[in-house]
Structure 1
């Protein structure tokens, strides 16, 4: 293992840390100023860097930026006096692993450095194993079966029906089937048949002629024409209106269709992949889905497992989504401890992979430090929201949660409000009748912004939400930031950074 580097102009600080780390069998190398560190980096590198923030000849913040440019994955711990807290916040924004306030307890300092070392060693292994992430992830036997099926179907144009719960990744499988098929050079066109009103769906699928109905001022090509030579993905096929099922069956049977208002038959050269979270056999028995269409679609069926059926994939997926969220937000990726991963693996994830991705986005925004620990997880993983039940598959007690595709916006900050399904009306809170009102207001606000096409709705509402929480906490504590942070359940460095970002000092 590489040595721990200590950078501080105070010889006594260096001495204390050197002796304490040596007792724990850590190799240590000390420096009096940042210039010496940068020179040493030419022929050596540390496992962890511990640096003071104020030193003659350069600041720890500047050193952090320069070291991170050379070694992006290196954990850097910044030592600072309380009066330097704003500088420490800036260091966090620059990618510091953690900050160590002076004067510090030596035992706690060594423990913090030990955590940084463990993370560094884990990251080295992961970086080698995950240099390039594949389009789909999964080591679980159920997912390996899916991958094998995709391989077998790679040179086929056969119709495929993908089944699985909402959020399990059905569109990803459809895209993979297209990418590895002879039609890969053609277009991949996706349509959610449940998301389009019945009176518009026919036009969306088959197109329309000019004047076919009020508002049809020009001819429009439908999705079947747009996907010509490629693949058409029909998501949530189980919700397709019964009369349109007849038209779809005809296209699948003879490859011909008519635009709405048209009289000239058009030929379709399209591979159809359909998906549903519903039991189509039951829909057929209920008389709401055509049996002949079911058999036409059900040539090859791929069942996607729920995330709770492949818990061993959760660590890999979590690290991938943390990297993805960090890249989208332009920040350094958070790391996650094994203890926090154990909590995630014990959760049922009713929203499946989509819900896990939303959790990782939440952590990227809200986790107070670069390393995510169990206490940093959303409340539904901590037993704070809803009743706790025993999960036999997960081997532990996990909080009950409301089923849905993903975490709703109500999970953006640590609250005890149960979350609802994404894309649906928020589920009323059970703790008090007033708790559901603000969720309804939030839904109206979000719907208005989204329908108006306002850009960056997520950022806009997040800033309002966080700003109101912090403002209320500061009002209750009469401006005492540390006390406000404690009440909110966030770190004092986090509240300082958020106050600056949101302009609440103005």
Structure 2
């Protein structure tokens, strides 16, 4: 694992985090400012995660993050600051921050956030992560079986591949699988998202630049084509590539060589190109937005990934997998889906595809009140888009007041009445407000019952201790007390 970079001008903060990460067995390196971190980056060092302060002398944390994201969008950056104003928070996430830590923060929670970021970054590696294995698990859907058969035929091929499919269908995972099963598996897999990099930086990102090629080019830098030598270059969202770069890419594919920005020496290309897009390239060609000759160069072999609504046979297995992985991440028992809940999920159309199903499972792991997820526990967007069948509706009414659906008497009926009042007042964010009130009441009761002992309260609630500490901070509860 590459080291975690701590970038902070406060020596004490660096020391505390370095000790905490070292205790967890995570490699770590500290920098006193953003300039030193970028120098190390330009020298070829790569972090697994960057944790940076916002306000530092010289280069601040947000500009450091922008530079890192422009060069390596897959490296997660966590921002920390003592100045928790709205503008800074919004700017951090607009620049692509993985998470945001407000000082002073709980060091254990920070370590968990770093581990989560490192895990998601490594999950993007060659099918090493649980998410990758989940999305590429054996499929019963004929459309996916056809994809797998095509991948098997392509294993020994050098042909350029174009992967198409809606957002969230796992195009990059398929590209990585193609690389892993090819003769280039020992070489690097380099991914570039054409839509995520500013157009004025994309050319240098792909082809590199010579020293002095433009303002700020203080040294020669290799581009992604050179970094992918002997391996695979994955060009994601190729449909968003600017027209001038389409011309350069066409020349590279046709001639097998390229020039760095500002360079005079041709460099040979030794990469397999796999491209992907969620856009219909034929339509963009007809609209004059994509070069027809480049389209034909890329469209040697096409793999179409089916949306999740075309592989409903896989929803049960995928949901079970995501419920297990999200429970392991949070340190809580895994939820299981009741028959009605599963039937509803299988009817849902998933505009966000597999990524949306994964998000739903993460939501259920946090919000579902019991181990078995019932239909009424599902997120509102699923319930509204996938109405209950007659059998489910009848089961839901059994033993309850018909006017209340599955909610029944007592606290649930009072909660429903409170929700109706809030909705009638056109109150915004009703779901968030009531969810926070619910968690505040339950966690407060658990802390009172356990005499303030956080460990016991967490065990009785069925959540991790760090999760309890985080929720107490978010909800304004006092989580102090004994250490049972």
What's the C-alpha RMSD, in Å, of the aligned pairs?
A: 3.8
Equivalent-residue separation in structure 1 for 2:165 and 2:193 (angstroms): 15
Aligned to 2:353: 352
Asked if the contact 1:470/1:495 (under 8 Å) is kept, the reply is no
Q: Which structure has the larger Rg over C-alpha atoms?
A: 1
Bigger Cα displacement from structure 2, 226-235 vs 327-336: 327-336
Alignment of 1:502 onto 2:474: no
Aligned to 1:315: 316
Asked if the contact 2:206/2:225 (under 8 Å) is kept, the reply is yes
Q: CA deviation at 1:366?
A: 1.8
Aligned to 2:165: 164
Alignment of 1:282 onto 2:283: yes
Alignment of 1:267 onto 2:252: no
Aligned to 1:182: 183
Equivalent-residue separation in structure 2 for 1:494 and 1:229 (angstroms): 49
Aligned to 1:404: none
Aligned to 1:302: 303
Aligned to 2:196: 195
Asked if the contact 1:227/1:270 (under 8 Å) is kept, the reply is yes
Corresponding residue SS for 1:272: strand
Corresponding residue SS for 2:244: helix
TM-score, scaled relative to structure 2: 0.56
Asked if the contact 1:153/1:177 (under 8 Å) is kept, the reply is yes
- The count of corresponding residues between Structure 1 and Structure 2 is 302
Asked if the contact 1:224/1:268 (under 8 Å) is kept, the reply is yes
Equivalent-residue separation in structure 2 for 1:204 and 1:191 (angstroms): 8
Which aligned pairs between 1:420-459 and structure 2 lie closer than 5 A? 435=428
TM-score, scaled relative to structure 1: 0.53
Distance 1:197 1:433, change over 3 A: farther
Which aligned pairs between 1:43-192 and structure 2 lie closer than 5 A? 135-192=136-193
Aligned to 2:20: none
Distance 1:474 1:272, change over 3 A: closer
Equivalent-residue separation in structure 1 for 2:231 and 2:136 (angstroms): 19
Aligned to 1:339: 340
Q: 1:266-324: CA deviations, max 9, x gaps?
A: 11100000000111010000001000000000000011101001111100111111122
Alignment of 1:235 onto 2:236: yes
Distance 1:357 1:238, change over 3 A: same
Distance 1:501 1:265, change over 3 A: closer
Equivalent-residue separation in structure 1 for 2:209 and 2:437 (angstroms): 48
Equivalent-residue separation in structure 1 for 2:464 and 2:166 (angstroms): 41
Structure 1 segments unaligned to the other structure (5+ residues)? 1-131, 397-413, 416-429, 440-461, 482-491
Q: CA deviation at 1:333?
A: 2.1
Alignment of 1:330 onto 2:299: no
Corresponding residue SS for 1:259: coil
Equivalent-residue separation in structure 1 for 2:357 and 2:464 (angstroms): 28
Q: CA deviation at 1:382?
A: 2.1
Asked if the contact 1:160/1:273 (under 8 Å) is kept, the reply is yes
Aligned to 2:212: 211
